[in-house]
Structure 1
């Protein structure tokens, strides 16, 4: 049992697969960077004072967001290439002739894919989240010119909006969803120069029809507090714009997700998308292992004389099916149709089960 995975062979297979993965990932990221930079240049042409170096920087900062989408495909197609490479050189034939089972030469490659998933989850994702946050900050500053800022913290909802007269900062302790009824509301008003004008406290507030409507209001402008039943404050914000302004799952580092989920739930916001994203990251090593095994089901039965296009087509079909199933189940989970755990873990589990079943039938059966 000690030599179930022969050390020399295992190191060789792991090295071949790692090299294939890094080369393919580098090519894919290079193509993505080229197209993303062209798109950013097109957008930057509409604004003044956007340096070319800034566009290049933003293209690099954007890579982690798209890289996380293409990473499973890089794992799959690098495995396909590795097996194709070994078949073309008759190396798998020699390995099987030496009496080794399919699992003995699959093990090192599956192990590398598991390590890639763990490394991405624990290291790359947190770094990528910081880069994505930096990209979005530059995008707002140079390419969108937004005047509103929304954030969620342990103390509740914070919202800043600029107006013709200056601006205001709104704070709410809790938000009742889906009515979007704020409780424990405080609003600070400022001039264009940043000087304080007044403070308004309200028991509740509701956003509708381009206005914040405050109820049970107390206003303090430096003199005697004034109490009113309700007041309206014009705003150009909509509910959708506020929700879209929150930190996206991709913008939140893996290690910060549990705390951010608790903060969202304590404030009253729906955290299903964040919980699905967190569970998806946990399941990613298993998904990558499943991708390698599925690649083996397509390529191990090939001979030297079978067309490579057949293998590539099989890989495309597998990748599309897994991607579609994963996206579909995430949508069901976000809409409360299925549990979060099922939405995140079912695709890798079913892909792994399918791959193992096929190999057991065709190779060991």
Structure 2
């Protein structure tokens, strides 16, 4: 196929792809804005400008979910356009095969998949972090922060602390129910985590007031996460002005965090850039956590160019029909149905991979491979009989 014809076909498809993607993003932005307005009702400090800002920050990440549909539907519309204007018939009559005709479309789709993987995803991960920061600041009262590094697990949790200044006398005691509580936070660190028992080793807890004034440090050999508490053993408590630590065999440290809170925080796929995922996955596994969800997500991103190319084949198999032939509408509806089936199949297999019921590679790559083979077989049947 000549370069001029290839550029013409690719240009038509790129234009339709951009228009459809922009239209879908506008719809997503509208619904997100309405939802944020609902959540912000009754919060005077949240302005309309802040709501629009949050919607824009969230848009690139949320829009990635609908990109396969944009690739599929824009390809179907482009093929329908070319068929209706008889341009497709002229191209085929010139001696070009369907595979030559589809090459520019497949190339554009694959490049778009690479663009999403290497550019859109990293940009979306940066913006979604800013969105989450604004959401916690303006719409949520939670102040828990969780992070995983090679040095271990770090937690930051807002707590209420007993006001030591309320005591009078060196050995004065106050009824716990009558103690004055002041806002503060604790920083929790553990070097290793043993799964699935959730047994943490070499644990250190630091307490600070909200003005970052240090109050005390707790060190424990191990800690087990229970319901609303950490069960710590071989504990040493270092007071702010104390030199000799207080030794306790068993100590219950209250917490509002659950296992689900921690797992969802450090495995948040949206906030992880494609380029940082391999290192972060290695860090999780070294620390003792299950990195299967992030592995599935990473390989799913790698499979995007193949998935987008498969969408072109599926679109061509249902749209490249002569205008005189009946059933075009039904075939297009069937193509839309295939797209949604692919989406649910992909979600189902990824869920199986996340729970380790099937291998990660199979969970991430099989949806794209199945779609590609289905589209390829349909086109082979259409082109070569």
TM-score category, normalised to shorter length:
over 0.9
TM-score using structure 2 length: 0.91
TM-score using structure 1 length: 0.96
The aligned residue for residue 62 of structure 1 is 58
Structure 2 Cα separation of the partners of residues 140 and 304 of structure 1: 58
SS in 2 for 1:230: strand
Structure 2 Cα separation of the partners of residues 343 and 79 of structure 1: 26
Structure 1 Cα separation of the partners of residues 30 and 80 of structure 2: 29
Q: How does 1:279-358 map to 2 (within 5 A)?
A: 279-303=299-323, 306=326, 309-358=329-378
Q: Across the two proteins, how many residue pairs are aligned to each other?
A: 361
Aligned: 1:39 with 2:35 = yes
Q: How does 1:42-121 map to 2 (within 5 A)?
A: 42-121=38-117
Unpaired runs of 5+ residues, structure 1, are none
Q: How does 1:217-228 map to 2 (within 5 A)?
A: 217-221=235-239, 222-228=242-248
Cα displacement (A) at 1:74:
0.1
Aligned: 1:206 with 2:220 = no
Q: Is the 8 A contact 1:206 1:212 kept in 2?
A: yes
SS in 2 for 1:301: coil
Structure 1 Cα separation of the partners of residues 42 and 286 of structure 2: 41
Unpaired runs of 5+ residues, structure 2, are 162-183
SS in 2 for 1:250: coil
Match of 2:156 among 146, 157, 160: 160
Structure 1 Cα separation of the partners of residues 331 and 15 of structure 2: 20
Larger Rg: 2
SS in 1 for 2:384: coil
Q: Is the 8 A contact 1:297 1:358 kept in 2?
A: yes
Deviations 1:165-217 (A, max 9, x none): 12211100111112111111001112343211111111100111211111111
Q: Is the 8 A contact 1:29 1:63 kept in 2?
A: yes
SS in 1 for 2:45: coil
Q: Is the 8 A contact 1:80 1:311 kept in 2?
A: no
Q: Is the 8 A contact 1:212 1:234 kept in 2?
A: yes
Match of 2:275 among 255, 263, 280: 255
Deviations 1:260-300 (A, max 9, x none): 00111111111001000100000100000000000000001
Structure 1 Cα separation of the partners of residues 52 and 378 of structure 2: 45
Change (3 A) 1:248 1:173: same
Moved more, 187-196 or 263-272: 187-196
The aligned residue for residue 266 of structure 2 is 246
Runs of 4+ in 1 over 6 A off after TM superposition: none
Structure 2 Cα separation of the partners of residues 76 and 94 of structure 1: 24
Cα displacement (A) at 1:309:
3.5
The aligned residue for residue 181 of structure 1 is 199
Compute the RMSD of aligned alpha carbons. 1.3
Cα displacement (A) at 1:220:
1.6
Structure 2 Cα separation of the partners of residues 138 and 297 of structure 1: 45
Q: Is the 8 A contact 1:151 1:247 kept in 2?
A: no
The aligned residue for residue 195 of structure 1 is 213
SS in 1 for 2:81: helix
